[in-house]
Structure 1
Amino acid sequence: MTVNPKIEEAGFRPASRIGAVGVSKILQIGAKAAAMKREGLPIIILGAGEPDFDTPDNVKDAAKAAIDAGDTKYTALDGTPALKKAVVEKFRRENGVDYEIDEVTVATGAKQILFNAFMASLDHGDQVIIPTPYWTSYSDIVEICGGVSVLVSCDAEAGFRLQAEQLEQAITPKTRWVLLNSPSNPSGAAYALQDYRPLLDVLLRHPHVWLMVDDMYEHIVYDDFKFVTPVALEPALKQRTLTINGVSKAYAMTGWRIGYAGGPKALIKAMAVIQSQATSCPSSISQAAALEALNGPQELLKERRESFQKRRDFVVSRLNEIDGLSCRTPKGAFYTFASCAGVLGKKTPKGNTINTDADFTDYLLQEAHVAVVPGSAFGLSPFFRISYATSEAELMEALDRISRACAELR
């Protein structure tokens, strides 16, 4: 068979919608570190955004029971009635928010919830306000869906939280959504009642702007911090708010891929249209597991939160002892977002200058064999993110290596 040379020469042409979108920097660093580890180097990877705990036994047992019972067929498009009811009860029990069954959606992870919502609501050029530092998938999904990401820098002095004045200034007639994540990936910053209130007052003055909140780290908060979700504070915003959550982080179920959300019926219905032409229903087995996670014993959440807090305290303390680094104490999630401003301009033992946070994290990977993620990947420099969702022994060794690597800079 003869191949048309023009076709062969042309090769693959990617769609323009993904022209500026690449694979996550976090995944790129993780893949590079994993490859170095396979080569025999003693790499410690502190980039993973998932708990090191196992999925609870009762959840695994529920999945096995579902398999044995033959619950292996297609389910309702955006969640089984039983799981949707459990989500409704979860919102009522833990957040004081009342949703009806048809105001709830379940998808293959919270990332699909985000994608469905933006695909269902954004027209070309619509704007989405995203505070930085931010989880990079937010802006990439917005761009794929035809929207424009309006990134608003939130510095350390403000606790990495969006301020009311910044929100007011960022809103335009084209603003469709503002997206808030609390506790935050990557900074661990969290919005208490008094932090949310001024932002909600701004939104009340701009009825064309909808609010999307990512509460995925709700159960991983520390000290005396009281988690709250915006709709519980301002019911008047309920009809233009999508509240996103899932089982991935709290229940160590990242691979099960179940996210859920509550929002206005019209939006939930539109999101179902998108899901119907993408994945259709989430995994029936994963939904059975998520049902048990939400309805089953919750004591394990407290135990694991206490373990994370112990690790947080250790990592923050060690980072603040290292010359050139400084780290705020995060209120939640399982990340630290430390400044490396104090090492910029210094030279490595090989004579290379550390000009950026990416230079610094590359130096740590190559010379200290510790993989962390630069703040530039999250839209704010010069910082770097450590995930402390790993063993205490690995954290101790990693911080020792980082300390030695920084001491060798001149």
Structure 2
Amino acid sequence: MSTIARFLFGRRARRRWIHLILGGALAMPYVLVGSLAVGPATGSTNVFGSFTLQLASFALGLPIAALTSLFPLTRPLEVAAVRSLCGVDDDRLADGPARSRSAKGRAAAWFTLHLGFGGIIAGMSLAVPPFAVVLIVLPIFAGLRDPRLGLPEALDHTWALTLAPVAGAAVLVALAACAAASGALLARWAPALLGPTPEDRLAAAEARAADLAVRNRLARELHDSVGHALSAVTLQASAARRVLDTNPDFVREALAAIEDTTRRTVTELDAVLGVLRNGDSTVPAPTLAADLDDLLHRTRTAGLRITTTIDVAPETLPPVVSREAYRIVQEGLSNALKHADDKQVTLHIEATGGHLDIALENPLRDLGGAPQRGAGNCATSHNEPADKRRPAERPRGHHGLHGITDRARLLGGTAHAGPVEDTWRLHVRLPRKGPA
């Protein structure tokens, strides 16, 4: 009994009833338009004085409603109403206007059903409760049995008066059952008629892919710019602390380098945040042509010995290639700062045919059976004195190498990193003309 009571009068049933009454309210203008055609066709001056003519006006108004449902906002409004009142899961309904012909047809079918069921239930909700109340109180108020009120003469019999309250209550229950059943049917049909089409799913997937691409781009920019700066600043501060009492000139140089690095990093961070705020940035991104010398100077100040060979004029590179090449070199040097055993790196940039080749190499050191360490693999020797050991490092996810690979792939190039004999080598090849 409790299950039946919840189905007929529970919170969900009441909300669906409201949804149906809203459909009836939406149907009224179309019924009025239908009556304008039914009246002259039947010669009637009072269409609403005849129940048959009312039904005819209602039936004529529904096709008109189906046509107006092609308005773009119809489906979003109906979806919002279904989500709020019918208890249908959000992920089973589509977002936005119907775009394809099939989606528009299904939205029109839903709108017609909503107004059709809603018009019937709304009409019953207006007419049935007063009649049921009269039946319930009929044995008490003799005046209600006046023939001028139009009630059937059979209600004057004693047995009819006895059963009238039961009949009135049954009529109310029947109204609730009709409303609950209609609401349940509409809730079941809603995902099929208002659910996403293949085109909607494709559009949603494309939007998610675009959002993910932006997120990945921001992640790469933050990792490569801020990550490199923090690594350099950390090493510079560590070196300055060790020689604070013995080499004040070096400390002053290290502090100046830290100041310059942080200032540049704030500028680059503004560029990345500009992408977040406005989708673009007015701060130019660093490029190989304009910023390579400063990058090498800052990295050398951090303690890395760099031998460079540049066999290409960076200013001749397209801006997108110059920008991504700068980030690749920056990340490669950052990895060497953090992980290379011998703080010595060879950087080679050259143009070969239609490609730009970037190679970074640093020697690996044999630790007597321990894993060799390079720009992508490191370990801490516990045989060193405590004051010379490296700080414990957090587990790394190789995000830098993944970022380099992503940058190269987006331009149509390739990236490889790993040990080659006694050298750790990073090699990236980019097309000189940028992405095809």
Is the TM value for this pair above 0.5? Answer: no
The TM-score, its normalising length taken from structure 2, stands at 0.20
Structure (1 or 2) with the greater helix fraction: 2
Higher RCO by CA contacts (8 Å cutoff, separation 6 or greater): 1
**Rg (Cα) greater in structure:** 2
